[in-house]
Amino acid sequence: MWTVPLGTTGRPEHILSASYANWEDTVASAARVLGNRDALPKYLNRNMFAVASTSESPPSIQVYLIDGVSGAVVHSTMVSGATGPVHMELVENWIVFTYFSVRYNRFEISVLEAFEQKLDWRETRHDSYISDKPYFLQQTYVLPMSIRSITTSSTMKGITPKQLLFATTTDQIITFSKSLLDPRRPSKEKMTQEDREEGLWPYDPELPLNHRTTLSHYRQIKGVDVIKTAPSNLESTSVVFASGLDLFFTRTAAANSFDVLNPDFNFPALLITTGGLLVATIISVVYSAKVALARSWK
């Protein structure tokens, strides 16, 4: 058992939200491959969870990442001039959380990503008492809308890039690629060839609102307060269920349907080609057998 005090005696904090990772999801890679072919080992701590709290004078948001076994605060960050509501999602080695900035009168979203200081690749266990603390990268973006709920897509093998799903206060469900919410996005002036090879986007403080990524299309889903995702039999596809005053079900593909043939695919040509290759193979085998038999009689 352990206790973590939040705030100080004269500046109490009130818990707004908490989140923990769903470790039933498959982790496809234990490291992030960089443009120079190096690797950043991810900090994968199954015991870690996140807590967001607020204090009123002055208004601020604090986010704590706590190890559930030892009770140690792995990392903490504070956003001054901010207030709730706070929505959080903890996935693998990164966390996103949203809040309202009183200072700038807008909604913002911040992303934290944790990496190991050093890692023994032969070690497969994590020890909450002797493991080194990770180092964190953080970046903040401007949200073009206010939200009610947040979640991420889930696939069978975890190979497909993650997609963030937001239920907005305008009764829509929109998606953003995790690549847009990347703390390693460099400024346009500092963009290098290695960054381009890694697939990083130049940093832009405002997230682009693309209506083609709205899962609900023209429909309004009233009062959405919970969004759940689950993997399907296709690695590219994740199924989505939202509930509130309405129920909504659909599917999403973060990297398009890379494991599904297009509807306009020429199946007759495929069958003809396959059949021709099969006939050619049979003829070749029979001919080779006759040639081998003729050589044996000489």
Average confidence (pLDDT) over 206-214: 84
Q: Is the pLDDT of residue 160 over 90?
A: no
182 exposure class (CB count in 10 Å sphere: 0-12, 13-18, 19+): buried
Average confidence (pLDDT) over 226-253: 90
Q: Is the pLDDT of residue 8 over 70?
A: no
| CB atoms closer than 10 angstroms to residue 164 | 21
At residue 272 the predicted structure's pLDDT band, cuts being 50, 70 and 90, is: very high
pLDDT of residue 10: 65
Strands, E assignment, 118-209: 135-142, 147-152, 163-168, 173-177
Question: pLDDT for 72-91, tens place per residue?
Answer: 899 999 988 888 889 999 99
Sheet holding 247-252, edge to edge: 226-231, 238-243, 247-252
At residue 189 the predicted structure's pLDDT band, cuts being 50, 70 and 90, is: confident
pLDDT of residue 262: 77
Question: pLDDT for 38-51, tens place per residue?
Answer: 888 888 888 899 99
pLDDT of residue 123: 65
Query: What sign results for the dihedral spanned by CA atoms 228, 258, 109, 137?
Result: positive
Q: What is the pTM for the complete model shown?
A: 0.81
Integer Cα distance of 212 and 176 in angstroms: 11
pLDDT of residue 124: 62
Name the residue with higher pLDDT: 121 or 263.
Answer: 263
Q: What is the average pLDDT value for the chain, to the nearest integer?
A: 87
Say if residues 1 and 70 touch (Cβ distance below 8 Å): no
* Strand-strand pairing, 226-231 and 173-177: unpaired
Question: pLDDT for 99-158, tens place per residue?
Answer: 999 888 999 999 999 998 876 666 666 777 777 788 899 999 999 888 999 999 988 888
Provide the percentage of residues in the chain whose pLDDT is more than 90. Answer: 32
Q: Name, of 183-187, 278-282, 288-292, the range with top average pLDDT.
A: 278-282
At residue 194 the predicted structure's pLDDT band, cuts being 50, 70 and 90, is: confident
